[in-house]
Amino acid sequence: MWLLLPTVSVAAFTIALTELAQVDVPRGLHVHVLPLYAPEPQSAERLWHLTNEALTHRHFHDLDELQEVQVQRCLTLQTMPEFIRVHTNFHWGPQTV
């Protein structure tokens, strides 16, 4: 799930948390809470550079154009689970069999 917000604020974060709270965890997946101060970045942080690749070295005429490019990149990444797994599979995290 990707949630693109137009701003960073308490209100926007509240919206994000509300949306995420409604997501059903698919069968076969398990939620693991990381320690507050993990020794390595959280898995999602390792995806930022992948989502930002579509934005680098480009000029956008307006926020709508930027958002559309970002949405398309997220949709593309969603079709690449093995590629995502390579970037988010920490040795200390839960391992898939």
pTM of the model: 0.54
**Per residue in 6-47, pLDDT tens?**
778 898 888 888 888 887 888 887 777 767 766 666 667 778
Q: How far apart are CA 87 and CA 71, in angstroms?
A: 20
Q: Where are the domains of the chain?
A: 38-90
Chain centroid to Cα 48, Å, comes to 7
Give the lowest-confidence range in 48-52, 71-75, 91-95: 91-95
DSSP state of 9: S
- The residue with tokens 């593309």 is 76
User: Do the Cβ atoms of 71 and 3 come closer than 8 Å?
Assistant: no
Q: How far apart are CA 60 and CA 66, in angstroms?
A: 6
